[in-house]
Amino acid sequence: MGAMDVVLALVVGLLLAGLILFFTFLRRGQWPTLRRLPALDALSADLGRSVESGTRLHLSLGDGTLYGPEASATLVGLAALSQIAKAGSVSDKPPLATSADGAVALLSQDVYRVAFRHQRAEDRYDPLLGRIAGLGPLGYAAGTMHTAPDEDVTATLVVGPLGLEAALVAEAGSRRGHVVGGTLDPVAQALLYASADSPLVGEELFATGAYLRVNRAHAASVQAQDIVRWIVIAAAIAWAALRTVGIL
Amino acid sequence: MRCPMCGKPNPDTAEVCAFCQARLRPLSAAPSGPEAPIPASGPPEEEAPDWLAKLRAQGALGESRGTRDLSAEAEPLEGPGEVPSWLARIRARNGEEEETKTPTGPPPSAEQVPQPAQPETSEHPGTEEGPAEAEEPEWLERLRVRRAYEQDQEPEKSPFGEATSARGEELPPDWLHVPREEGWGAPSLGTPSEGPAKGSAAPGEGETPSPPPSEIPPPLVQAAPSRGEAHVSPAPVAGESVQPAREPKPGLPRLSPFTQGSEEFAAGGGEAEIPDWLARAREAAEPSANRGEPPVEQAGTGSAGPGLDELLAPGVLPEWLTTPQPSPTAPQTESAPDEIEQAVLPPWLQALRPIEGPAIKAEGTEEERVETAGPLSGLKGILPPVSLFEKVPHPPVQREQLEVDPTHAAQAELLQRVVLNPESREAKRVGRPGRRLHYWTWGVWALLFVAILVPGITQSHVFARPTTVPVETLKLRTAISALPDNRPILMAFEYDPANAAELEAGALAVIDQLMGRGIPIASLSTRPAGPAMAADVMAREEAVHPDYAAAGKYLPLGYLPGDAVGLRAFANDPRKASGAISAAPVWDSAFLQPVTNLEGFSSIIIVVAQPLLFQAWVEQVHTLHPTVPVFAVISAAAEPLARPYYESDNPSVEGLVVGLAGAETYDCMDSVDPATGRCGNVSPADTWWDPFGASVLAAVLVLGVGAFGSAGMTLLKFWGGKKRD
Amino acid sequence: MKFNVSVVVAIATGLITLVAYFIPVAPLQAVRAGLLQSGAILATVALLLGAGNLLSVHARKIRDRKPGHLYSIFLVISLLSVFIVVTIFGTQHPYSVWIVTQVQQPLEVALTGLLAGVLVIAGVRVMFRRPHWSTYLFFLTVVIVLLGTAPLPFVAIPFLQGFRNWLAQVPAVGGGRGLLLGIALGAATTGLRVLMGFDQPYQR
C-alpha cells in the first residue's frame, strides 16, 4: 500500500468520522429527512401485522461473521434486530433471528436480552430466539427453509451478508408472507431483486438503522455517506475529465 | 374509634356501632351453652333480658322465670313489688315531659338485637347484648351513642321538639312520639292472599302494597331511618290500613317485639317510625278503649297519648305482650309466605332477575352460630365460608324456562359432541399453509430436469466448444509455465462444496498443469470444508500424476480461521498463523522449510466463488506482499467484481479463469484435436458442457415465455382500460 | 452512549488495529499481531459455540416434539457422529474427506441446483408481479448474458459473445464498482460508529 493510498484512506476516514460527530452532536435536535424506502416502510407494516396476528417475523442475519469483510452487514443486522426485538417483545411470538455464526448468535441473544429488559418483560426472554439455523451458507439456507413453516413466520427480513443462498431464504419466506431483503454481495442483491417483495439495493442496507431510528449516529452516518459519496462522484468525474483531456 | 364494618366514627366507650350495630369490641365472655335455635316468640326465659323478664314477671302471676344473664354484671332481679330503678327513671322523665305529645301504644319489643345483617331479629335476642353498664340495657346505650353522634354532626331537628332527641335517660324514644303524617316504617309484612289494604290506593310502580288491616302481622319494628332523619311514623287508626314499611335502611337495628318494659323505649330507645305492632296494639287497645280504656292517640293530632304508666298498667298491654310466648317459628320471610303480599317488581328489575329454582337449603346453616373472632364477632348468622362453598348445591336448571334457539341448540349439541368425543380432543396444529406451487412451476422443473439429464446421459457433443481464449486465461497459463519448480505455490481453496461443480473444473485444469511441471502445492482454506475439498481434488490429480504423489509435493496447511482477520495474521506470519492449526508438521518439510513468510511462495492461486472473499485475499494479503503474483480461478458470478482488480493500472490479479467456460478453454488450450475441432482432453468441464448449455437454453426459454406473457397481459390491461375510458 | 469496560476494550482494540495498519511502529505492530491472533482463536471458539447453539435448538425441538423433530434427531446424530470422526481421525483422513465429498458435497450441490430452478421461477414471477420497464430491462440483460456465456447448439451467433463480454465488463463492472464504493463507505461508517462507541452490539 503506497503512501498516497494511506493518506487518501486517512483523509476519507477522518472526514467520515468528523461528519458523523457533527451530525450526531451538533445537529442533535434534528432528525434528517430521509427519502422513502418502500422496503423499510413495508418492514414496519410487517412487524405490526405479525404482532397483531400472533405470528412471527423472521430476521435473517445471514451467514457472515464479525471478522470478515461482511462484518459491517452483520452489525447493521444486529442494530436492526435491537429495534425489532423491542417492538416485537410484547407479542406472543417475538421475532426470531437466525444466523450461521456462533459469535453472531451470541450477540443476537444479548440484543434480545436487553430488549426484553427494556420492555420490562425479562420473564418472557428466551435465549433461543437468537439461534443458528445451520453452519455454512447452504446449511444456513437449508435451516431457514424449515424455520418459516415451523415457527409460523409470516414476514421475513434479510439484513445481513448472504450469497447466492439468499434466493433460497427469500423463496422460503415468500411462500409464507412478505419478504424484505438486503445484503452486501451484488450478486445476491440481484437474486433478492427477483425473489424478494421489497429488495434493498446497493447500500440501502446501511440506511436500515437510520430508518428504524436506532440512534442519532445511524442517521448521521447516512448523511455522512451521502456527502462523501457526492465528493467521490465529483472527484471521479473530474479525474476522468482531466485524464481524457490529457492533463493527468 | 371507627367501626370496622361501616367505617363510621363512634365514641370510644361504645360497645357497638351506632349505625350498623356491629360490635366494636369483642365479647368478653362467650355465650354460655351450645347454640340453640332462638324461638320466634322470644328468647327462652333463661336468656331473656332482665327487663323482659321483669315485664313478664309483672304480667305473670308473680311467677319469676329468671333472667338471662348476659354478663357478669346482670342486674339482679327485683321483687315484683319493687319498682326497678330504670322504671323509676322512665317515669320521672315522663313526668317532666307530659306536654310532649307522644303516641301511645304497646312499646316495641325490648329485644334490640344489634344485627343489621339479619332479616329477623325476634329469634335472636341479643346474646351479644352484654350490657356495658350494669344498669342500662344495651339498646339504650346504643341509642345514646347514636344520639350523641348525631348531635355532634348536625343538630337534630325534630318536628316534635327536643323531646324527640334522646339525650341520655331523660328523653323518650322517638317512636313514642307523635308520628309524622307521611308514613311509617312498618315491615312489609302482609298477606299476599289478601288484596290490597282496605282504603289504601293501589300500590304504584315500585311501591310495595300495604298489608291488610285485618290481620296484624307479627310485631316487627322497623329501624329508624338514617341519621339526620327524625322520621316518626304516624300511629295508625283502627281500621285504617297499615302502610307497609319501607325497606329498613342498612345497618339499622330491627327491634324485635318485646313483651314488657315499654318504659325502656320511652327512656331512650326507639326510632322515629311507629312499629306496626304498636299500631296493632293501639288498635287492639281501641276496643278496650271503647270499653273505657284510654284511646289510642291519632297521628298528628298533637294530643298527648296515654302515659307510660297507663301502658304498663296491667290489662292495658295485650296478653301476648305480657305473657311468654312459645318459641317462634322460622324467620318470617320463610315461615309465613301466605301472609306476605307479593311485591310487584318493575319490568326492568324483572328482566334482571335470574331464573330461580327451588330454594336452596345450605347444610349447616340451620343452627346459627355466633361469631367470636374478628370484626364480625358477636354477630349471628355469619355465613361460614367453608361450609357454604362446600355444601351449597347448584340450583337445578329449570329447562322449561330456557329459551333456546334451534341454532344455539345445534351448536350446543355439537360442542357437547366435540367435548365428549375422545378423537376430537387432540388439538390439531393450525399451521398456516404456505403458498402452493403452481402447475407451471412443476413444468419449469420438469423442463430443466430433462435439459440436464438427456445430454448428460447421452454424452452428446452438440454444443460448440469455445474457440477463443480470453486474455486473462492465457496469462494465467503462461505465468504457470514460467514458475520455478523448486519454490512452492500457495493454493487457496476458498469455496464450499456447493460451488465445487463449477470451480473444480478450473482448479483441476490448473492443478494438472502444476503437477505436470512438478511444482509443489501448499493448500490453505478459510472455509471449514476447504481442507477436505482440497484433499479430494489433489487426490484425484495425484491419481493421474503418481510421481507427484510419491515425491510428497502436496503440502496441506489446513484450515485458517478468522476470515479476513486470519488472512491478515497469515500474511504477517504464515508459520505462526497456520502452524498451530495444521495437523501435520508440513512446515518442517523440505519444500516449506525455506519459507519464512509469504515471499517464499512463488505465487498465490485463489480458487474462490464469493467476490468478497476474493476481495479479502487481495486487500489483506496482496497489499502486504505486492511482489507475490496472485492468480484466481473464480466463478462466473464473481467475475464482474473481480475483473476491476485485473483491469486496473496496477493490477492485483495477473490472471483469471472464469467459470466453466474458462475451465473448458484452459483445458483445451493445448489439446484441441485439429481434425475434429474438439478438445482432446476429456475434463470435467468437457463432460458438463452440453448439459450446461442445454439447461441455460431451457432457462432462457422459460424466462422468454414469462416475459412475453407478462408483456401481453400488461398490454391487454392497458388496452382494456383505454376501451373502457 | 454508555461507557463501561466493554466499550473501552472494544474501542481500544479497534483503534490499535487500525492505527497499526497505517503506522508501522514495531511495538504497535506486535500488539496488533497479538490481537489478530486472538481474534482468529476466538473465531474458532465461535465455530464451536455455533455447533452448541444448533444442538440446543434441535434438542429443544426434540424434547417438545415440535413438528419436524424427526429431522432434528437426524441432525443431532449426524452432527455428533461427524464431530467424533473428524476429532479422532483428523481433517485429512480419508474418513473425514469421504464425509465431505460423498455426503456434504452432493447435498450442497443439490441445493445449488435447486437454486437454479428457484431463480428461473422467481424471474418469471417478478415479471408478473412487477411489470415495470426496469423489470423487462433486467430480463433482457439476463437473457443476453446467459446466451453469451453458454454455448449454442449447431449455431454460433458471433456478436452475442462480444456483446455479452461488453455487458459484463463495462456496465456491470461500472455498476459493481459503484456498489462496491457505496458498500465501502457504509462499511467504513459502520466501523467508525463502533470505534466511537455509538454502536454497542455487545452490550446495552
Question: Is the pLDDT reported for residue B703 higher than 80?
Answer: yes
* Mean pLDDT on C171-179: 84
Question: Is the pLDDT reported for residue A109 higher than 90?
Answer: yes
Question: Is the pLDDT reported for residue B112 higher than 50?
Answer: no
Nearest to B629 by CA among B649, B599, B659: B599
* Mean pLDDT on B98-117: 49
ipTM, two decimals, is 0.87
- Of B528, B612, B619, Cβ closest to residue A136: B528
A149-189: pLDDT as tens digits: 888 888 999 999 998 889 999 999 988 888 998 998 888 88
Q: Which residues of C touch B571 (CB under 8 A)?
A: none
Of residues B238 and C195, the one with the higher pLDDT is: C195
pTM: 0.62
Of A211-215, A224-228, B80-84, B385-389, least confident by mean pLDDT is B385-389
3-state secondary structure of A60: strand
Residue A149 CA, chain-centre distance (Å), reads: 23
Question: Is the pLDDT reported for residue C85 higher than 90?
Answer: yes
A residues 103-132 lying closer than 8 A (beta carbon) to C: 103, 105-107, 110-111, 114, 118, 128, 131-132
Of residues B205 and B455, the one with the higher pLDDT is: B455
* Mean pLDDT on B340-366: 69
Which pLDDT band, with edges at 50, 70 and 90, does C2 fall under?
low
Which pLDDT band, with edges at 50, 70 and 90, does B37 fall under?
very low
Of residues B267 and C177, the one with the higher pLDDT is: C177
Other Cβ atoms less than 10 A from the Cβ of C129: the count is 13
Buried b or exposed e, range B292-314, using 16+ CB within 10 angstroms: ebbbbbbbbeeebbbbbeebbee
pLDDT recorded at residue A133 = 92
pLDDT recorded at residue B361 = 54
Q: Is the Cα torsion angle B313, B317, B318, B322 positive or negative in sign?
A: negative
Give 3-state DSSP helix, strand, coil % of chain C, rounded to 5. 80, 0, 20
Virtual torsion, Cα C2, C4, C6, C10, nearest 10 deg: 70
Question: Is the pLDDT reported for residue B633 higher than 90?
Answer: yes
3-state secondary structure of B298: coil
Amino acid (1-letter code) at residue B83: V
Question: Is the pLDDT reported for residue A13 higher than 70?
Answer: yes
Residue in chain B lying closest to C31 (CA): B569
pLDDT recorded at residue B582 = 55
**Could you give the angle at the alpha carbon of C157 between the alpha carbons of C154 and C158, nearest 5°?**
130
Strand A198-200 relative to strand B521-525: parallel, antiparallel, unpaired? unpaired
Domains in chain B and their CATH numbers? Answer: 1-28+38-195+209-330 (no CATH), 471-677 (3.40.50)
Mark yes or no for CB contact B566/A138 under 8 Å. no
- Choose the most confident range, by mean pLDDT, from B2-6, B205-209, B406-410, B494-498: B494-498
- Average pLDDT of chain A? 88
Which pLDDT band, with edges at 50, 70 and 90, does B721 fall under?
confident
pLDDT recorded at residue C55 = 92
Of residues B550 and B351, the one with the higher pLDDT is: B550
Instruction: Report the C-alpha gap between B506 and A46 in whole angstroms.
Output: 45
Of residues B158 and B503, the one with the higher pLDDT is: B503
Mark yes or no for CB contact B610/A163 under 8 Å. yes
Query: What's the gap in Å between the CA of B411 and the closest CA on chain C?
Result: 32
Mark yes or no for CB contact B623/A65 under 8 Å. no
pLDDT recorded at residue B464 = 77
pLDDT recorded at residue B187 = 39
Give DSSP secondary structure letters for B67-97. Answer: ----STTPPPPPPTTSPPHHHHHHHHHHHHT
Mark yes or no for CB contact B434/A55 under 8 Å. no
pLDDT recorded at residue B681 = 65
Amino acid (1-letter code) at residue B434: G
Instruction: Report the C-alpha gap between A171 and A150 in whole angstroms.
Output: 15
Mutating which of B441, B525, B612, B703 best tests the A interface, going by the most A Cβ atoms within 10 A? B612
Q: Which residues of A touch C187 (CB under 8 A)?
A: 69, 71-72, 206
* Mean pLDDT on B616-628: 91
Query: What's the gap in Å between the CA of B689 and the closest CA on chain C?
Result: 8
- pLDDT > 90: percent of chain C: 20
B537-589: pLDDT as tens digits: 999 999 989 999 888 899 999 888 888 888 988 998 888 888 655 545 788 88
pLDDT recorded at residue C147 = 85
Chains within contact range of chain B (3+ C-beta pairs < 8 Å) = A, C
Instruction: Find out whether B48 and B249 touch, Cβ atoms under 8 Å.
Output: no
Write down the residue that cell numbers 346505650 correspond to. Answer: B141
**Could you give the angle at the alpha carbon of A77 between the alpha carbons of A74 and A79, nearest 5°?**
115
Question: Is the pLDDT reported for residue B126 higher than 90?
Answer: no
Mark yes or no for CB contact A167/C201 under 8 Å. no
Question: Is the pLDDT reported for residue C77 higher than 90?
Answer: yes
B296-342: pLDDT as tens digits: 444 444 444 556 666 666 666 666 666 655 555 544 444 455 667 88
Mark yes or no for CB contact A75/C199 under 8 Å. yes
Question: Is the pLDDT reported for residue B533 higher than 70?
Answer: yes
Question: Is the pLDDT reported for residue A41 higher than 90?
Answer: no
What are B586's three cell numbers? Answer: 508440513
A138-148: pLDDT as tens digits: 999 999 988 88
Question: Is the pLDDT reported for residue B38 higher than 60?
Answer: no
